[in-house]
Amino acid sequence: MLPFHAILGPIGWPELLVILGLVLVVFGPRRLPEIAEAFGKSIRKFRSATKEATDEVKKELNEISHESPEEPPHKREKD
């Protein structure tokens, strides 16, 4: 699958202003703050979930690296 910028190209300030203008026309000035608030909450939830996931992975990798590795079976003494 191609990356986003390969399909549509990079999005600059003029494109963002056009998108914002379309959103303003479609939803109107009264609903725009509600939409922005919902978008901000979604971004915050996504960031916190991503941070929790990376912290958990780092914790697991740290625990694995600090564990003492077992001796391979061929080097163990026989009883």
Cβ–Cβ < 8 Å for 35, 23: yes
Task: Give me the pLDDT at residue 45, please.
Answer: 97
Question: Which candidate, 51, 28, 48, places its Cα nearest to that of 40?
Answer: 48
Gap between the Cα atoms of 11 and 55, Å rounded: 31
Predicted local distance difference test score (pLDDT) of residue 22: 92
Task: For residues 73 and 77, give the distance between their C-alpha atoms in angstroms, rounded to a whole number.
Answer: 9
Task: Say what the pLDDT of residue 4 is.
Answer: 58
- pTM of the predicted protein model: 0.53
Residues ≥6 apart with Cβ < 8 Å to 11: 5
The tens digit of pLDDT for each residue in 12-62 reads 888 889 988 998 899 888 998 898 899 999 999 999 999 999 999 999 999
